[in-house]
Amino acid sequence: MENTFDRARKLDLADELSDFKDKFHIPKNKEGKDKIYLCGNSLGLQPKSTKRIIEQELDDWADLGVDGHVNAKNPWLSYHEALSEPMAKIVGAKASEVVIMNSLTVNLHLMMVSFYNPVKGRSKILIEYSTFPSDVYAVKSQIRFHGFNPETDLLFLKPKRNSSLITRDDIDEMLAIHGDEIALIMIGGVNYYTGQFFNLKYITNAGHKHGCVVGFDLAHGAGNIQPNLHETGADFAVWCTYKYLNSGPGALSGAFVHEKHQDWGERPRFEGWWGTKKTNRFKMKHEFESMSGAEAWQLSNPPIMAMAPIKASLAVFEEAGMHRLREKSKLMVEFALDCLEDLPQDQIKILIPQDPEARGCQLSLQMQHPDKSFFHELEARDIVADWREPDVIRIAPVPLYNTFMDIFEFSNIIKEELSKI
């Protein structure tokens, strides 16, 4: 049987996306050697084009001042519109269903203002048990804002005992019991802790069958998997761009509103200047005339310097193609699992699903005897990963800039460090 070193070398040689690594800045150690960066699930790397694209806007601001809104190389008034189409391709939506604005949790709140409308008897929100804390804080605060009680109106979707992964049966059983009481299902499309990629269409259909509104947090999904949001029929989704979308720390977020909600009418929505029709925006009327599509949820004019890194990143994705990236990602994770299959089970358990369609590129390595000092030993050997309390080391081989040899070298290092315990 071919050893994993030879396989890594052959897979890298055959990789048609291998040149994309050169488009990114790779962090280096003190000797100037590339670190093994497996942390794109936390913060993606910087495309080399980002600086140039930001500098273009800085130069136009310096040279043109306010006239840059219409006369810049990339006019600022319409800057955000150029991002919608390439972003829509990544999340599987129509351009009119996507807008770039705010931060993720702000967008989640804006979506819940519109899509969480609790009434007596149907006031509950359903989230998965291992939801990222920020989402928990957001939904609890929305429940309280509407005069309900998170202790009774927040439900957690949990897996069966002795499992960390949620099944369709778990979803069906929850909805059979509580479906008529749930106002909103808000699931993380890819779970931050386990790496599980949920079947978004199944959850949407099941939720709608019970009269629930369905939305997704794709913080760990956008740029990682293909969520095909329009096809799922989900009511809304939100995501960040600083992880797999490589747009910089704290970068702007994306929001999706399905086209079936295009004619929103008088239903609840927080509104602002940039959500009104472009033709009337500068007539300074006090009457709000809504744009159609997701842009109607915009509040303020776009922050151009924050959008420039997204523009840089989306150009890389356009060139690579999301389908090719997803196929390489599946191959990388399969190779990683092969490399790590002989990890001692009494020391580390791999949480992610066996089905390639039910996972992204993140591998969650759960320590059976949690000791963060072990993680620090990996860091000392130039592994860049992250630790999530209480017991998980997350690694993410990202197809844009990671290699199969990165995975092979990581597997060797973690085994060597485990042998010292």
Encode pLDDT of 217-259 as tens digits. Answer: 999 999 999 999 999 999 999 999 999 999 999 999 999 999 9
Q: How confident is the model at residue 162 (pLDDT cuts 50, 70, 90)?
A: confident
Q: What is the DSSP letter of 117?
A: -
Q: Where are the alpha helices (DSSP H) in 226-281?
A: 229-232
> Cα separations (Å) of 290 from 127, 263, 264, 272, 297?
31, 9, 9, 10, 9
* Cis peptide bond N-terminal to 390, omega within 30: yes
Contacts of 283 (CB under 8 A, 6+ apart): none
Q: What angle do CA 92, 295, 222 make, to 5 degrees?
A: 30
Contacts of 151 (CB under 8 A, 6+ apart): none
Cα–Cα nearest to 100, from 266, 290, 303, 260 = 303
Domain 79-317 has what CATH class? alpha beta
Residue 130's pLDDT is what?
Answer: 93
Share of the chain above pLDDT 70, in %: 100
Q: Find out whether 199 and 358 touch, Cβ atoms under 8 Å.
A: yes
Contacts of 69 (CB under 8 A, 6+ apart): 75, 76, 77
Q: Among 3.90.199.10, 3.40.1190.20, 1.10.10.10, 3.90.1150.10, name the CATH number for the domain at 4-47+321-419.
A: 3.90.1150.10
Q: Find out whether 222 and 240 touch, Cβ atoms under 8 Å.
A: yes
Q: Find out whether 302 and 101 touch, Cβ atoms under 8 Å.
A: yes
Q: How far apart are CA 276 and CA 282, in angstroms?
A: 10
β-bridge partners, 47: 24
> Does the pLDDT at position 143 exceed 60?
yes
Which amino acid would we find at residue 257?
V
DSSP string for residues in 11-72: HHHH-TTGGGGGGBPPPB-TTSPBPEE-BTTTSPPPBTHHHHHHHHHHHHHHHHGGGHHHHS
Q: Where are the alpha helices (DSSP H) in 103-245?
A: 104-115, 133-145, 150-153, 168-178, 200-209, 229-232
Q: Which helix (H) or strand (E) holds 184?
A: strand 182-188
Q: How far apart are CA 383 and CA 369, in angstroms?
A: 20
Q: Find out whether 110 and 138 touch, Cβ atoms under 8 Å.
A: no
**pLDDT, mean of residues 72-79:** 97
Residue 266's pLDDT is what?
Answer: 87
Residue 317's pLDDT is what?
Answer: 98
> Does the pLDDT at position 115 exceed 90?
yes
Encode pLDDT of 2-61 as tens digits. Answer: 689 999 999 999 999 999 999 999 999 999 999 999 999 999 999 999 999 999 999 999
Encode pLDDT of 351-381 as tens digits. Answer: 999 999 999 999 999 999 988 999 999 999 9
Q: Where are the chain's structural domains? A: 4-47+321-419, 79-317
Q: How far apart are CA 153 and CA 133, in angstroms?
A: 17
**pLDDT, mean of residues 133-155:** 98
